[in-house]
A and B are shown apart, each in its own frame.
Chain A
Amino acid sequence: DAKTTQPPSMDCAEGRAANLPCNHSTISGNEYVYWYRQIHSQGPQYIIHGLKNNETNEMASLIITEDRKSSTLILPHATLRDTAVYYCIVRVVGLIQGAQKLVFGQGTRLTINP
């Protein structure tokens, strides 16, 4: 799986949009971008994933650059409960050998300030 690079920490004011960047310059054409988050001492929680088009769900939006070498997770109106470690992961999807694996990096520790 391609390696990702994320800033170790970020701050954001409550009510503002939180934009979390991720670089994945070695991503392959068949690799998806996944985002998970981990709120203190809980198990990681799936947020969103995408291949090349921008995606939106009830939790967040995912913007992937045209060359797919980077992406941004957007939490449109951050709340204190969004304080967590956010992980960006790239992986293939399907029944290819090893495709099921999720390999976590160090992530970005996002702190939402009142």
Chain B
Amino acid sequence: DARVTQTPRHKVTEMGQEVTMRCQPILGHNTVFWYRQTMMQGLELLAYFRNRAPLDDSGMPKDRFSAEMPDATLATLKIQPSEPRDSAVYFCASGSDGGGPGGYTFGSGTRLTVV
């Protein structure tokens, strides 16, 4: 089965450091999402792209977070500087327009711990 690949799977970093998370969407998918999950807030939509163009990043703290798609095979989520409250699992998902018959496919996530 085709899958969404996220790297790294785990990341521990010190407060103030830059963190970059990467996502390889499924080949042919043109919609990419970034979600953050914590126990308190559940799954929060941070940003999403269609055909590599950002459609909505209103869920993302603009001062420290940035999301890009340098090409169709790579999406990145960057935090600079990182803070302890950014500790969470970050999921990437991809799909075709409208979600398609199979909905959206999620990666296994990057578990970020900021100490």
Interface residues of A (CB under 8 A from B): 34, 36, 41-47, 49, 87, 91, 93-95, 97-107
**Interface SS of chain B: helix, strand, loop or mixed?**
strand
Closest to A87 in B: B43
- B106 with A34: CB separation less than 8 A: no
Most buried by B among A44, A45, A100, A106: A100
- B89 with A41: CB separation less than 8 A: yes
Complex CA distance for A87 and B43, rounded to whole angstroms: 11
- Contacting A93 at CB < 8 Å: which of B33, B99, B109? B99
Interface residues of B (CB under 8 A from A): 4, 31, 33, 35, 42-43, 45, 48, 50, 55-56, 89, 91, 93, 95, 97-99, 102-109
- B55 with A98: CB separation less than 8 A: yes
**Interface SS of chain A: helix, strand, loop or mixed?**
loop
Given contacts A95-B98, A100-B98, contact A36 B103 (CB under 8 A): yes
Complex CA distance for A95 and B91, rounded to whole angstroms: 23
Q: A41-B109, A43-B109, A104-B35 are in contact. List 6 more A-B contacts (CB 8 A).
A: A42-B109, A43-B93, A49-B99, A98-B56, A100-B99, A102-B99
Contacts of B98 in A (CB 8 A): 93-95, 99-100
